[in-house]
Every structure is written in C-alpha cells, then in structure tokens.
Structure 1
Amino acid sequence: LDGDGRFAAALTRLAGETMPLRLRRARLRYPDAEDRFADLWLSRHADGGVLLEVHPVDEFPGEDPALLLPSALSAALKGLAHELRNPLAGVKGAAQLLARRVDDAEGRELVTLIDDEVARLSALLDQLLSPSPPRAHAPLNIHAVLERVLRLAESDAGWAVRLVRDYDPSLPELPGDPDRLVQAVWNLVRNAIEAGAGSVTLRTRAEHALRIGDEVHAIALRLEIADDGRGVPEALAERLFLPLVSGRAEGSGLGLALAQQVAREHRGSLAYRSRPGHTVFTVLLPMGGEAEATQ
C-alpha cells in the first residue's frame, strides 16, 4: 500500500491529532501493477481505530466535492456535534434568563435571534448525529432568508462592514428549506467578512431560460454575494469547495462545502469569480416550474 512512506508517517502524526489529516497525491503501491496516486483522508474513529478514505486524484475534476463530505468527515463531525451540545444548551438557558430582564424592542429582537440560531444549530447537530431525509421544500421568500442573514452579520460585524441590499422586489417565491438556505448564505457572508471585506452586497435577480447543470429552467434566482475583501488565494482556486480546505489557519474548511451541498439540495449550483478587491459567489436556484432536460 505505502509507496513513499507518507502513509506510515501520517499514522504516527494522527496519534496526536484531533482533526482529520489529508495527504495529497500519496503514492500507493499495488501488487503486479504500476504505482498510483491518490488523496488520502485519515481521522480517528470513535473506537480508537483509524478511518481511511482513498480518492484517486483523477476523480476530483469531475466529482461534486459536496458528495465527499459525509464519508470524509463523518467521524470528525459526529465528535464535534457531541462536544457542541452542552455549550449550546448553556447559551439557550442564558438567553431565556436574559429574556426576563430585557424590556426594550431591540433587546427582545436580539434575544429572539439568539434563540432562533440556537434552535437552528441544534437541528443541524441532530442531523449530523442521526441523519434523516431532507425536510420537504415549501414556498419561501428569499428576501426573508437574506434579511435573517443580514441580521446575523450586523450582530457579528457591527459597523465594521457595510451591508448593502440590492434586491429585485418582483421575484416570486421559490421552493426551499429556509433554515438550510440561511446556513448556506450566512457561510458565504461570514467568509467575506473574515476575508477583510469593508462592504458586502447581497443582490437578487431573475434569470429566464437558465441552464443549471443538465437542465434548463424557465425562471431561476441568481443570488450574488459580492465583497471587496482580499479575494480567493490562487493556490486554493481549484480546491476551494473541498472539505477541510481553508485560506485561514483558524478556518474549519467546512463553510463552502456545506454551502455547495445546500445549493445541490435545491437543484441549484454555487460558483465564484475572484480577484483582490472583488469576489462574487453566485447561487443559482430554480424558482419552480418544470425543467427541460437537455443532452
């Protein structure tokens, strides 16, 4: 198996690590065959063993990186979910005590925001620990989703970042899961803030006869999250949506992979373009109606 010694070295390193390790282009030796290259993911299993995922490098250009998320990170995410349960319960209890002492409208709004976010995160942890089928989609107003995200951004960044609304008020409702969409868009906005943006714009537009993947949709939503931050590092451009890939030392590398997964759940897509001072992440989502399959 181990063609260049890196796998054995990684097993030794893993004994002192709590997060998964990734080996890019490790050389694997096959009996009676030429050596092959693969990306390896190693993480500690709950029973003390090692969880090993092997992905030939030539799979990544054609694969949806979000599909790698459940298998590559299952053990790590479940451990993290267990660790987060108690702090979340403490935050919820503190919010309930605070609600009894707050008597102004803005304070009550902030307490409600805390309570709603604790509930959303608790539901996400439940999903990680005991996966269940996705919730059925229902008609929703995308601008209500965006306003919730902007409220989170205002609480997180304060006046340090200018938040700009550029909405098309004539947009119809679209089928979706509001909590999952909040999670996806908030990940994108938070990434922009952490990339040093001074301004973040949320823009919505309708697109007609738009192709998403292999389907053409009569009408679709184009949601753009634009910022003037540092941009995407060139070294990460081809791997940006892969789990555990981050441009920040303290980053988890999960936000973009999860955002792409949410877009896929809604039969949509997530893409980006970037240069220093101008980065735009674009979410395309069908807005109802039958899609026309194309070859």
Structure 2
Amino acid sequence: MPYSQSHKQILDNLTSAVLVLDDELCIQYMNPAAEMLLEASVRRLKNRPIEEWLSSSEDELAVLRQSLASGHPYSKREARLVTQTGQELTVDYSVNPIPEAGILLEIQARDRLIRIEREEELLTRHASARVLVRGLAHEIKNPLGGIRGAAQLLDRELDREELHEYTRIIIDEADRLRHLVDRLLGPHKLPVIEPVNIHDILEHVCSLVTAEVGGRIRIVRDYDPSIPEFNGARGQLIQAVLNIIRNAMQALEEAQTPDPQITLRTRALRQITLGAERHRLVCALEIIDNGPGIPEELADTLFYPMVSSRAQGSGLGLSIAQSIMNQHKGLIEFTSEPGCTRFNLFIPLELSHDTSR
C-alpha cells in the first residue's frame, strides 16, 4: 500500500485502532493501538484472512465484502467481536474502502465506556436508595421508642398476669423493628482502619462458614499471593464477604444443588476503572457458586435494601456489602445464570480509603 512515512507516524500515534486490509480482507497494516486491542502484533497477523484473527457474524463479514466491492463506507456501533485469544470486545467501527488498495478499518473499543456508564448508574441508584432508606428508617425509629416506652409503662400498671403477655409482645416486636432499622442505618461508630490482607479475611470467613455448613458445601480457593496489603476496615470487609458467601450457601441449600460448591478467587488487576475513577492496582475477588442463579427480574434492584431472591432472605446483606465496598472506593458487580452466579468485588489497593461516610 503506497503511503508516506508521515502518514504512518500519524496512524501510529492515534488512540483508536486502525487496520488496513487488502482486497482479499487480509491484514496489511495495524497501528500500535490495534495491536494492543487485538493482543497480537502485525508480524503475526499480516496476510492472514479476517476470519482467522477476528471472529464476527457472517452478516458483518458479508457487509464488509459488499463495502469493498461497492466502494461505499459504513459504520457500526456496539458490535461484538472476538479476538484470536478468545477475548470478547464491544466496539464501534468504521469501514472506508481505499481505491485500488483495500479497506481502512477503524475500531474504537466501547467496553471501558460501557463499564463506566454501567458502574456510575449502579452507584447512583445505590446512593439514592440509601438516602431514601436512611430517611425512612429515622422516621420509623422515632415513634418506636414511644411505643416501647408506653408498653413498659402499661405493663407496670396491669394486675392480671395474662395481660402482661400482650405488653411483652409489643416490647419484643418494637425491639425487633428497632434492630432492623439499626441495620438499615448502618454502624454507629467509625471503623478502625488498619493494614489488612484479603486472604486473611477470606480464611477467617471460610472458618466461619465451614463451621456452619459442616462439610455440606465444598469451598474451593484460588488465591493470587502477589496481592499486597491495603488499608481497610477489617471487620466491615469480613461482613461484606460473609454476607455474599452466606447468600450463596443459603441459595445452594434451598435449591438442594447437587455437589454444591463455592469458589473464592483473587487476582490483582492493573489500570481498572471503577465508576469514573481509574486505579493503578485493584484487588479483584470473585465469589462463584453453582446454584440456581438469580432471577432476571431482580438483576437491576438486587443491591437495593429489602430485595432478596430467597424466601427467607431479609434483603439487607447485599445492600450492606455494596455500601462497605463503596466506603473503600470499591464496587460489587455480578453475573448470573443457572449453574453459575459470580459476584466480583473490586477494592483499590493504592489509595487511602475514606470509610467514614
């Protein structure tokens, strides 16, 4: 393909991926951004047909060939492509036929932007729900004190023993509601921030759940020992992990899943965007179970308080866990299908965390 060195320098410095295909749809050139996106060098892919290095639908390949034949450019948004390494990509791409040379293919990855939009929406929804719940909890807690106090005074004035049972029911139910409201409001004191190790936390949680299930559920560990310590609230992190694992345990037992299993996997990830903020190093914890999965209708509201997929669930565990992750500048995401439910907990490792919110 005839192009000058200055043209090549311009293409090499673009942040979007640029590829040049010949009239047989074989690669002839790719800039560094394309090499990073496709995880392969131009030396490996040169002169190889598009079907060998990038999987796409037959319709998209047919349109690509039609554009080459007609000379008409076209663009497509949020297309799904699969690289040779098996990585699935969501991309926008533009096709521009070059007379007597082939096709100029420009690809812009959308995965990161889609992830940022999804996480910002998740964080906004969760924050709005927490504000609403806190306000409602305060409104419930104030009259509860009056109801309990009035019941205690009434109990002292009653002469018949059988009537005391009714006042005790009022007091007990008021205490139960107050306990529920306290859980909605969250902890009353600031957590202790200290250096913590994610694997120490997981082993502590494992010892707790192993005692509860008595060997009925297999716990599989897949740890990355290179993950460093970070500053966090040990008690809160234990609670967040324990809430998610207990949910998985109860779902497995309620569904009577054959060979029930929970996998704990840790990895250190680099250059990860959480919300709108990019972090140099992140601890990624996956909690995976082989249970029945989460109903699709709960997917958008699962982290809301009082939402649960289980008949006996309170709907507070995941909401509290998400709040704890938010306080550590982190995030919880999940994917679910029958036989595989995966919760991903992301905790930045390089920042000083403000867990007082």
TM-score bucket (shorter structure): 0.5 to 0.7
TM-score (norm. length: structure 2):
0.48
The corresponding residue for 1:178 is: 234
The corresponding residue for 2:126 is: 65
Q: Which AA in structure 1 matches 2:268?
A: A
Is residue 191 of structure 1 aligned with residue 255 of structure 2? no
Unaligned segments of structure 1, at least 5 residues? 1-59, 84-121
Contact 2:184 2:316 in 1 (8 A): no
Q: Which AA in structure 2 matches 1:211?
A: T
Where 1:152 maps in the other structure, the secondary structure is helix
Aligned runs of 1:44-83 on 2, under 5 Å?
63-69=124-130, 70-74=134-138
Is residue 221 of structure 1 aligned with residue 277 of structure 2? no
Out of 142, 145, 150, the position equivalent to 2:206 is: 150
Identity level (%): 39
Q: Which AA in structure 2 matches 1:233?
A: P
Distance, in Å, in 1 between the alignment partners of 2:334 and 2:186 is 31
The corresponding residue for 1:56 is: none
Q: Which AA in structure 2 matches 1:68?
A: A
Per-residue deviation, 1:195? 1.1
Per-residue deviation, 1:64? 3.3
Contact 2:196 2:229 in 1 (8 A): yes
Is residue 285 of structure 1 aligned with residue 342 of structure 2? no
Q: Which AA in structure 1 matches 2:339?
A: G
Distance, in Å, in 1 between the alignment partners of 2:199 and 2:242 is 13
Distance, in Å, in 2 between the alignment partners of 1:128 and 1:253 is 14
Contact 1:246 1:252 in 2 (8 A): yes
TM-score (norm. length: structure 1):
0.58
- Structure 1 stretches (4+) deviating beyond 3 angstroms? 72-79, 125-130
Unaligned segments of structure 2, at least 5 residues? 1-120, 149-178
- Equivalences, count: 190
The corresponding residue for 2:188 is: 131
Where 1:256 maps in the other structure, the secondary structure is helix
Per-residue deviation, 1:131? 2.7
Distance, in Å, in 2 between the alignment partners of 1:173 and 1:227 is 26
Contact 1:77 1:128 in 2 (8 A): no
> What is the root-mean-square deviation of aligned Cα atoms in Å?
3.1
CA deviations on 1:232-290 (whole Å, 9 max, x unpaired) are: 11121111111101112221000010010000000000100000000100010100248
Q: Which AA in structure 2 matches 1:65?
A: H
Where 1:131 maps in the other structure, the secondary structure is coil
CA deviations on 1:148-189 (whole Å, 9 max, x unpaired) are: 111111011111100011111111001110100000000000
Higher RCO, 1 vs 2 (CA within 8 Å, ≥6 residues apart): 1
